[in-house]
Structure 1
C-alpha cells in the first residue's frame, strides 16, 4: 500500500497549486494524509480527486477546514495505526508536542507538520515523520513530501525536489 504524506501546503498563499512532482506521486496513492495548514478547502477537494484523504487542521486553516477535520486523528491502514496532528501549540518543540499528543494511543507512526522541517526517525519501533512542505520550504534547501510504503513494515521516504 502506498500512502502520500504532505503538510503545510498554505495554498493559495505560497503557490497557485500543488507541484507537478507531488501530483505525479498522487496518481497511484491508495491513501493521502495531510498534516494541516491546508489554508483553504480547495486543497482538500483537489486531493480528493486522487483518492481517499485523511487529515487534520493546522493553525492557519480557514473555518471550512476546521469544520471538516479535527486537530488530532488516528487512521488505520495496512494493519498499522497512524497518529496525525499538526503539532502547533505552546511549550516544547513541535515534534515533542506531536509525540505527547499520542501518548498511550498505541500508534505505529506519528505524522506531524507545522515546522516545515522534514523528519524521519524512530523512537524504538515508533516512526516519527514530518513530510516537510511541497509548497513552502522556508529555510530548507528543497521542497518535500513523504511516501510511506506498507508491507509487513512501514517504509518511509522523503521526496525532495526543487520546482521554482
Structure 2
C-alpha cells in the first residue's frame, strides 16, 4: 500500500479586506505549495476567497463582520477531516467568555483534534484536553500585535505533525 504524503494547510483569519487587493508577499509566499487553506472568518469582501483560491482549495467560516453572502457561502461553523485529523473551524465571536473559550464551546460536545478560530487577531496555540486550539492571528490587520501572522498545519496519518505560526512585518 502506498503511503500518502502529509497534508499541508495554510491557516488564516481576520483578513478584513474591504476590497480585493494583493495578499501580503510573505503570506502569498507562505501559501505556495499548501494543499488546502482554512479561513476562520472576517473575510469582509466576498471576493477575498478568490485571492486564496489562487493558491489552493479554500474552506472556512464567516465571522461577525461578514455579510449575508459570505455567511451563506461558508456558514458559521465547520468540521472537516484531513489526513485522518478532525478539524473544527469557528470564528469565535460572541458576548461572553474569552475567544478561546467560545471556540471550545462550539465543539465541546464532540471535540475535534484541532479547533481553528480567529476573532481576537491574537496568535494562539495551546492544548485543551486532546484538542489543539489554534488561532493564526491576522496577516493583514495585526491590531495591537507586534507582527502580522498566519499559520501552517501539517497533518499525516491521523496526527498533527506540526502547527506553527508564521510572523512577518509589512
Partner of 2:3: none
Mapping 1:90-105, distance limit 5 Å: 90-105=95-110
Maintained 8 Å contact 2:22/2:51: no
> Paired residue for 2:27, among 22, 40, 45?
22
The Cα shift of 1:66 comes to: 1.3
Asked if 1:8 corresponds to 2:14, the answer is yes
* Whole-angstrom distance in 2 between the partners of 1:5 and 1:112: 9
Q: Secondary structure at the match of 1:41?
A: coil
Q: Secondary structure at the match of 2:41?
A: coil
The Cα shift of 1:64 comes to: 1.8
Maintained 8 Å contact 2:111/2:131: no
> Paired residue for 1:124, among 109, 126, 129?
129
Partner of 1:157: 164
Q: After the TM superposition, which parts of structure 1 deviate over 3 Å for at least 4 consecutive aligned residues? A: none
Mapping 1:76-115, distance limit 5 Å: 76-115=81-120
Maintained 8 Å contact 2:8/2:36: yes
> Paired residue for 2:80, among 75, 81, 85?
75
Pairwise CA RMSD = 1.3
* Whole-angstrom distance in 1 between the partners of 2:31 and 2:163: 16
The Cα shift of 1:62 comes to: 2.1
Gaps of 5+ in 1: none
